[in-house]
Amino acid sequence: MLPVKKSRGACNLPTADQFAMKILFLDQSGKPGGAELCLLDIAKHYRDRCLVALFADGTFREQLEANQIPVQVLTTQAINVRKGSNMLQGFIGLGQLAPVIVKTVQLARSFDVIYANTQKALVVGAIAHFVTHRPLVYHLHDILSADHFSSTNQRLIVYLANHFTKLVIANSKASAESFIQAGGDPKKVEIIYNGFSPELYQNHLSEVPKLRQELGSAQQFVVGHFSRLSPWKGQHILLEALQHCPANVVAWFVGDALFGETAYKQQLQQQVEDLGLGDRVRFLGFRLDVPQLMAACDLVAHTSTAPEPFGRVIVEAMLCGTPIVASAAGGVTELIEPGQTGWLTPPGEAHKLAEIIHQCLADPDRARAIAQAAQTSASQRFHLDAVNQQIDRVLQGI
Ligand code: UDP
pLDDT at 222 over 90: yes
Looking at residue 148, the DSSP 8-state letter turns out to be: T
Q: What is the pLDDT of residue 91?
A: 61
Is the pLDDT assigned to residue 85 strictly greater than 70?
A: no
CATH number at residue 45: 3.40.50.2000
Sign for the pseudo-dihedral over CA of 91, 95, 100, 104: positive
Determine the atom of ligand 1 nearest the C-alpha atom of 233.
Answer: 25
Domain limits for position 295: 198-381
Q: Do 270 and 389 fall into the same domain?
A: no
Secondary structure, 3-state, 70-106: CEEECCCCCCCCCCCCCHHHHHHHHHHHHHHHHHHHH
User: Total domain count for the chain?
Assistant: 2
Q: At 9, is the pLDDT very low, low, confident or very high (cuts 50, 70, 90)?
A: very low
Atom of ligand 1 nearest to the CA of 302: 20
Residue 39 beta carbon below 6 angstroms from any ligand 1 atom = no
d(CA 51, CA 63): 14
Lowest mean pLDDT among 94-98, 350-354, 384-388: 94-98
Average pLDDT, the chain: 92
> Would residue 3 count as lying in a domain?
no
| Same-domain status, 191 and 51 | yes
Q: What is the pLDDT of residue 220?
A: 97
Which secondary-structure segment (H or E) carries 393?
helix 384-397
Same domain as 240, residue 175 = no
2 falls within a domain: no
The answer as to whether 14 is a domain residue is yes
Question: Model's pTM, two decimal places?
Answer: 0.92
Predicted confidence band of residue 316 (pLDDT cuts 50, 70, 90):
very high
CA–centroid distance, residue 200 to ligand 1 (Å): 15
pLDDT at 3: 40
Please check whether residues 208 and 279 belong to one and the same domain.
Answer: yes
pLDDT digits (tens, 9 = 90+) for 270-312: 999 999 999 999 999 999 999 999 999 999 999 999 999 999 9
Q: Are residues 332 and 207 part of one domain? A: yes
Q: Quick one: pLDDT band at residue 4, thresholds 50, 70, 90? A: very low
Q: What is the pLDDT of residue 315?
A: 98
Q: How far is the CA of 313 from the centre of ligand 1 (A)?
A: 6
| CB atoms near residue 396 (< 10 Å) | 14
* Cβ proximity of 186 and 378 under 8 Å: no
Q: Would you say 77 and 100 are in contact if contact means Cβ atoms under 8 Å apart?
A: no
Q: List the single range of 53-57, 163-167, 202-206, 344-348 with lowest mean pLDDT.
A: 202-206
- Are 71 and 205 in a shared domain? no
* Euclidean distance between the first and the last CA atom of the chain, given in angstroms as a whole number: 11
Contact, 51 vs 28, CB < 8 A? no
DSSP state of 12: P
Q: Are residues 147 and 227 located together in one domain of the fold?
A: no
Could you tell me the distance, in angstroms and rounded to a whole number, from the CA of residue 138 to the centre of ligand 1?
21
Q: Is the residue at 4 inside a domain?
A: no
The Å distance, Cα 12 to ligand 1 centre, comes to 42
Angle at 227 (CA atoms; ends 225, 228), nearest 5 degrees? 135
